[in-house]
Amino acid sequence: MLNIHTIKRLFKKAFTPITIMLVPHSKTRPLNFKVPFIGIFTSIILWCFGTVYIFSIAVDTFEYYKMKEKLNYYSQEFLELNTTISALKKAENEFKKLFSLGSREKVLENIDASDSGSIDMENLKFEIKKTTETISEIKDYLRVQHDIYFATPKGLPVRGDISSC
């Protein structure tokens, strides 16, 4: 345990002034600063915390730009996927139309040569929602079938002949 004399000695050392001299290369007088030891120690601690804080901000900024690059990449992928889905839907509709025709002349007359390539976000959202619902229905069906499979006996409960007597 610290006694009174030890505490007084620590306070005396903490507030003992340290002289900092700045000596210029010219013939002007040197500058003297008297700063208590606790002031220098506090300045060093604050400088360390400030440095750590600056580095943490730099790391956060770096991670922000990495995430921004990922977002841009996934946005580009989404646009490409959307364009592909639109092209596939259009091609599917054209093929359905062509398969419904009977002769070569009718097929050639009904081919649409223009390709708009526009992105229909509402249609894409609808298709994604429809696909999600279909997947949910499939999962529910498989869950029910799984339960039925494990609830159904695999064979006879006992070996041997079964009789009413």
Residues 5-44: tens digit of each pLDDT: 888 888 888 889 999 898 988 888 889 989 999 999 999 9
Summarize pLDDT for 75-127 with one digit per residue, the tens. Answer: 888 887 787 777 777 777 766 766 676 666 666 666 655 555 555 567 767 77
pLDDT of res. 7: 86
The DSSP secondary structure of the chain, one letter per residue, reads ---HHHHHHHHHHHT-EEEEEE--SSSSPPEEEEEEHHHHHHHHHHHHHHHHHHHHHHHHHHHHHHHHHHHHHHHHHHHHHHHHHHHHHHHHHHHHHHHH--SHHHHHHH----------HHHHHHHHHHHHHHHHHHHHHHHHHHHHHHHS-SS-SSSS-----
Confidence class for position 165, pLDDT limits 50, 70, 90: low
What is the model's pTM?
0.41
